[in-house]
Amino acid sequence: MKKNVADTQSGLYSNSKPSFVKNHRLAIAFAICYVSIMFSGISSMLMSVYLPVAVKDLLGNVTGERMNTISAYINSIFIFGTMFGGFAWGFICDKIGRSKSVVLSTALYGLFTLLTAFSSSWLLTGVYRFVTGFGIGGVMVTTNILIAEIWPEKKRAIALGIVSAAMPVGFIVAGILNNLIPEWRNAFLSGIIPLATTIIAIFVLPEPEAWTKANDTVKNEARAQLFSKDYRKNLIHGSIVFGAMLIGLWAVFSWAPTWVQSVTPDPAKANELRGTTMIVLSFSGLIGSIVSGWIVNRIGMRNTMTLCFLTSFIMTGVVFRLNHSVTTATFIEMSGLTFFFGISQGALSVYIPSLFPTGIRASATGFCFNIGRLFTATVVFFIGALVLFLGGYGNAIFTFSFIFLIGSVFTMFSKDNIKTSLPAPEFETSVAG
């Protein structure tokens, strides 16, 4: 990689800062981001795995139709929260800095995950889930930007792939908690851990110098140019590609546990299978995220994403249309589906930020990450509303999986020029506090 003056002055290529100092800072940033993302995954999926029992506890004895409706509301409210959070935190991140934004967004979702444990009604639960989602939407943007801007270019895709794997690790833990902790409220007490992490992060999380320099030179008016013609094409393209994968992913992860319960007559067995389903889905996604960097480097971004879209569409049909009960074969098929989900998430963590300059990178990435959530929240709601009309959760999930085909078309006709084209990694000696 060609070094410029800024690269040398940053200290990462000079002898002014010993390599162990640079590695120490990288390790600190990576660890904090990993914990933040992992627990955001736990907070995201806790309600999905506990949804049937949580809604029953909050509502009492009501009809199945009423249960489906309230469940759909709670899931949709959360996704709307992540959408608004992603938009807002993108601009906040460009304004106040990467590390401060990671700290604040993590503290927010941790606090409201904890408060959910004490909720007394489904309406209050919905409010808490919205704010939890608002914080998680911020974490999904800010952690990716922070890692992307500090990591060496040759290893950036691999680092982002591994750190993005923290989300499915969180999903796995949520499934384990479902099997270990019968009382759903106790599981939500896990929010105290990300809260504690932010106290440490305030003092040790470094700020990328790339943002510091950009913030000194880019005026607020320049950020208003986010929607100018210079960036409009990339905004549209990034939003469609990311949104198409997001809609399909959330349809599967949000409703797979409920689908499992709907096709399993024995309630006790259904409860066990719900947790196992989330573990299987998440573990495969974890493996996909970890290997995504190597796959992108090997076959290119366009080929990687096209493969993910087409395989995800096929496997969604196999899992939810061809299975009428949950067997070992079902879990194997689910593993194949979410393996490609994981690859796509790691790849997109490199793809989207690389489309934009530092001054608007977080805002633009937040826009692309979250415009799809507007449609995703609607999709998740309508899956619940259309279950009876379409003849079950499996048919509803498969119906919305056609969005993968739209994503594949946009990907196939894109230029395969998406590299890790961010500026060289730079650190500022300041910390979040």
CATH number at residue 110: 1.20.1250.20
Name residues whose C-beta falls within 8 Å of residue 331's C-beta, 6 or more positions apart in sequence: 276, 277, 280
With pLDDT > 90 as the criterion, what percentage of the chain qualifies?
A: 23
In a domain, 14, yes or no: no
The percent helix, strand, coil of the chain (3-state, each to 5) is 85, 0, 15
* Cβ atoms of residues 74 and 122 within 8 Å: yes
The Cα 397–Cα 384 span in angstroms is: 10
Question: Does pLDDT of 41 surpass 60?
Answer: yes
SS3 51: helix
In a domain, 210, yes or no: yes
- Report, as an integer, the average pLDDT of 104-113: 96
User: Tokens at residue 44, please?
Assistant: 């995201």
Query: For 359-382, what is each residue's pLDDT tens digit?
Result: 788 888 888 877 766 766 666 666
User: Tokens at residue 249, please?
Assistant: 């992913």
Range of the domain at 144: 20-431
Question: Does pLDDT of 300 surpass 60?
Answer: yes
Name residues whose C-beta falls within 8 Å of residue 409's C-beta, 6 or more positions apart in sequence: none
In a domain, 13, yes or no: no
User: Tokens at residue 381, please?
Assistant: 């709601």
pLDDT band at 211 (very low <50, low <70, confident <90, very high): low
In a domain, 8, yes or no: no
Query: For 397-413, what is each residue's pLDDT tens digit?
Result: 888 789 899 999 988 87
Mean pLDDT across the chain: 80
In a domain, 7, yes or no: no
Question: Does pLDDT of 3 surpass 60?
Answer: no
In a domain, 12, yes or no: no
Q: What is the 3-state secondary structure (H, E, C) of 319-334?
A: HHHHCCCCCHHHHHHH
Question: Does pLDDT of 186 surpass 90?
Answer: yes
* Cβ atoms of residues 377 and 86 within 8 Å: no
Give ∠ CA 292-294-299 in degrees, rounded to 5. 95
pLDDT band at 385 (very low <50, low <70, confident <90, very high): low
SS3 428: strand
For 39, half-sphere exposure in the C-beta direction (CA atoms, 13 angstrom radius) is: 29
CA distances from 46 to 14, 184, 354 (A): 46, 8, 32
The Cα 154–Cα 95 span in angstroms is: 28
- Residue 47 CB neighbour total at 10 angstroms: 25
In a domain, 407, yes or no: yes
Question: Does pLDDT of 124 surpass 60?
Answer: yes
In a domain, 15, yes or no: no
Please tell me the predicted confidence (pLDDT) of residue 293: 84
SS3 78: helix
Domains contained in the chain, number: 1
Q: Enumerate helices (H) and strands (E) in the chain, giving the number of each.
A: 19, 2
The Cα 282–Cα 430 span in angstroms is: 36
Please tell me the predicted confidence (pLDDT) of residue 426: 39
User: Tokens at residue 388, please?
Assistant: 């009876």
CA distances from 61 to 47, 72, 116, 121, 182 (A): 19, 17, 21, 14, 19
Question: Does pLDDT of 424 surpass 50?
Answer: no
